[in-house]
Structure 1
Amino acid sequence: MPLKKTAAEMVADARARIEEVEITDLIAQLDDPDLVVVDIRDIRERNRGFIPGSVHAPRGMVEFWVDPDSPYHKPVFAQEGKRYVFHCASGWRSALTVATLQDMGFAAAHLREGFSPWAAKGGPVQMPEPRD
């Protein structure tokens, strides 16, 4: 059965209606105390390196963590005056995520190219602490 809409079309539709942030712009803003960078990648991806100071919110839980009425709500998403920028590896999952959050009334942007080219463009990368 053919799909009504492909994943690529969904990403394109999302990107057409959300704010996209360039890597160089996000690098320049990393010291801003009002910026919250949110990494929605799988923990296995994050374990290969992440943006220092970023919050990890797995893609499957984001809507529930953002919703103050959800039993899974996380206070990091209830901070007044903060600017939230979500990212994944390539910008596809984060585009869909931010479009969904926008539909919920939560203001956010996403990193257009994602984390994959981050280090090559000068972005700092932190490695997780080794586990025993």
Structure 2
Amino acid sequence: MTLKQPLKKGFKQMLAEANAFIETISVHDALPLVGEKSVLFLDVREAFELEKGEIQGALHAARGFLEFFADPESTMHKPEMARADRIILYCATGGRSALAAKMLVDMGYDLERVFNLAGGFEAWKAANGPIEII
């Protein structure tokens, strides 16, 4: 099956817009934030990806459920998200987390609180950042 007309906005344009809008934080700048109570590392990868490990202390919130976890009116709400002064989202390499970060801001989270981890979990592992095996 093919589309009858081109998409109004493809994933490349959506990624470019998200990356231009959301602040990216480098692994180097994020490493010292592990364990800070006011900082939440939010893993938006799928459950099967967790077998590779997770940033130490991260909260898993698969991207497909993120709107439900983010909204205080949802029965699935994760209160850690509302309490954090900074939320650093990550996925495997940074694309899905950029889109997820923009979505959080679109929902009403403060732009100054939401960050995308540059290079995602792969960059974190390459920098020997602390991980937990789930």
Q: State the TM-score, normalized to the length of structure 1.
A: 0.89
- In structure 1, the partner of 2:7 is 3
- Please list every run of at least 4 consecutive aligned residues from structure 1 whose deviation after the TM superposition is greater than 4 angstroms: none
- Asked if 1:28 corresponds to 2:28, the answer is no
Pick the aligned partner of 1:85 from 81, 85, 88.
88
Aligned partners of 2:23 and 2:115 also within 8 Å: yes
Pick the aligned partner of 2:130 from 107, 114, 124.
124
Using the aligned pairs only, state the percent identity: 39
- In structure 2, the partner of 1:15 is 19
Aligned partners of 2:25 and 2:118 also within 8 Å: yes
Q: Matched residue of 2:15: which SS?
A: helix
- Asked if 1:76 corresponds to 2:80, the answer is yes
- Count of residues in correspondence between the two structures: 127
- Asked if 1:111 corresponds to 2:114, the answer is no
Paired with 2:105 and 2:14, the residues of 1 have a C-alpha distance of 15
RMSD, aligned α-carbons: 1.3
Paired with 2:14 and 2:21, the residues of 1 have a C-alpha distance of 11
Q: State the TM-score, normalized to the length of structure 2.
A: 0.88
C-alpha displacement at 1:121, in angstroms? 1.4
Going by fraction, where is helix more abundant, 1 or 2? 2
